[in-house]
């Protein structure tokens, strides 16, 4: 009898342990075909299981050692992101574009993140639609600038939301999701350049609470690559000295104490010349706010018969005389190309008053928004 009692206790313990390590997904949908369950992995989603949808219902029951990020995909291309934890019974209703999830706190939080991103994208779409029929308006440029600034402010609000979300969910894998959110198709909302602390918080969370997570290696590589990049935001801008139009040496360090935009361009560069009117307006608008443009020309290629004349003519024709102009007139062989590691122009680098890099490759209204953040 005693042996039987011990056996029953052991079976009960094993049964409870197995239940704790499993989770269930029960779904209702108007999709047809198969439901595919994928693990969200750094190298790409990996198929975990597939089940048929029968009479609008499907079910998964899987063993799970710790909470995990999944993507539930259907044959029409639609998908649902989930964070499943051991012991959860996740119930999903997904018909047309209406989605409800119960039984999973992590999955509900992902829904909240997605809804906030959808609101941001809807705001951007409304601005675009509002401007579509106003291109002939004589005040269009000002309307465009105002709309871009409105979106920038909305984007900053969303960034704060994501940062707070990471702070409040540091013991869950759900804090990974804000790092993946993008806008305008390919631009991350949180970036290593501006949000290194948030990336490090997420990494520390995974290392402490989920040491077997496959995302750890990816984040470590991204962060280490950023920290060792001499041109990363926050790093001192490499100093250089180049001759101006009169042959006098001008050093970047001479401009310390000012907000400086280094603009790499050339008279033969069509896209550069198109950007010049915008830079002229920008300089005129903020010159009294301790803002300077250091214009570095890559004139001097083998095809140019008289590169200095072409350079000076472009300065005059594009009304750039108020910028600081320097060049070795050696084309792509200029020494600053190696210092700033660029392979195409126009290329811009924004430097703060302390001489540190704060932005790269910005143009137009995006550049102006960044300048406005840092003017004194």
What would the pLDDT profile of 276-300 be if each residue is shown by its tens digit? 999 999 999 999 999 999 999 999 9
At 277 the pLDDT is 95
At 376 the pLDDT is 66
What are the domain boundaries of the chain?
19-103, 107-227, 241-374
What would the pLDDT profile of 243-261 be if each residue is shown by its tens digit? 999 999 999 999 999 999 9
At 54 the pLDDT is 96
At 369 the pLDDT is 86
Of 63, 2, 53, residue with least CA distance to 28: 53
CATH of span 19-103? 2.60.40.1120
Alpha helices, DSSP H, located in the chain: 2-20, 105-132, 140-168, 177-180, 192-209, 215-227, 270-286, 307-317, 335-340, 364-374
At 326 the pLDDT is 98
At 5 the pLDDT is 44
Q: What predicted TM-score, i.e. pTM, was given to this entire model?
A: 0.80
**How many angstroms from the chain centroid is the CA of residue 9?**
53
At 15 the pLDDT is 44
At 143 the pLDDT is 84
Reduced DSSP (H G I as helix, E B as strand, rest coil) percent helix, strand, coil of the chain, to 5: 45, 25, 30
How many alpha carbons fall within 13 Å on the CB side of residue 29?
A: 27
What would the pLDDT profile of 52-111 be if each residue is shown by its tens digit? 999 999 999 999 888 999 999 999 999 999 999 999 999 999 999 899 999 999 999 999
d(CA 150, CA 160): 16
SS3 260: strand
At 13 the pLDDT is 41
d(CA 21, CA 61): 11
CA distances from residue 178 to 39, 81, 227, 284 in whole angstroms, order as listed = 17, 13, 21, 38
What residues of the chain score a pLDDT lower than 50? 1-2, 4-19
Can you name the CATH fold of 241-374? Answer: Glutaredoxin (3.40.30)
The pairing of beta strand 68-74 with beta strand 34-39: antiparallel
At 7 the pLDDT is 44
């Amino acid at each position: 009898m005693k042996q039987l009692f011990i056996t029953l206790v052991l079976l009960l313990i094993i049964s409870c342990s197995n239940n704790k390590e499993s989770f269930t997904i029960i779904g209702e949908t108007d999709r047809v075909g198969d439901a595919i369950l994928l693990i969200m992995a750094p190298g790409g989603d990996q198929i975990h299981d597939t089940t048929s949808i029968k009479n609008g219902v499907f079910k998964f029951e899987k063993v799970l050692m710790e909470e995990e990020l999944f993507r539930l995909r259907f044959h029409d291309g639609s998908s649902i992101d989930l964070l499943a934890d051991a012991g959860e019974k996740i119930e999903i209703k997904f018909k047309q574009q209406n989605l409800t999830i119960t039984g999973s706190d992590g999955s509900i939080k992902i829904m909240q993140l997605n809804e906030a991103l959808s609101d941001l994208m809807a705001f951007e779409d409304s601005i675009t639609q509002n401007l579509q029929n106003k291109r002939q308006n004589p005040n269009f440029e000002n309307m465009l600038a105002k709309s871009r600034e409105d979106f920038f402010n909305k984007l900053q609000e969303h960034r704060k939301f994501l940062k707070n979300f990471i702070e409040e969910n540091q013991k869950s894998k759900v804090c990974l999701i804000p790092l993946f959110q993008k806008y305008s198709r390919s631009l991350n909302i949180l970036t290593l350049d501006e949000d290194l602390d948030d990336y490090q918080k997420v990494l520390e969370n995974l290392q402490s609470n989920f040491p077997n997570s496959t995302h750890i290696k990816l984040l470590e590589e991204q962060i280490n690559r950023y920290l060792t990049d001499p041109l990363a935001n926050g790093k001192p801008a490499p100093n250089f000295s180049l001759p101006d139009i009169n042959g006098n040496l001008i050093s970047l360090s001479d401009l310390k104490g000012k907000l400086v935009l280094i603009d790499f361009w050339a008279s033969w560069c069509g896209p550069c010349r198109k950007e010049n009117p915008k830079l002229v307006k920008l300089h005129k608008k903020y010159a009294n706010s301790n803002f300077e443009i250091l214009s570095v020309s890559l004139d001097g290629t083998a095809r140019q018969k008289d590169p200095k004349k072409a350079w000076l003519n472009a300065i005059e024709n594009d009304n750039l005389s108020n910028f600081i102009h320097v060049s070795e007139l050696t084309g792509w062989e200029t020494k600053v190309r190696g210092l700033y590691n660029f392979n195409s122009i126009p290329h811009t680098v924004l430097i703060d008053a302390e001489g540190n890099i704060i932005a790269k490759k910005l143009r137009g209204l995006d550049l102006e928004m960044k300048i406005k953040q840092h003017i004194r």
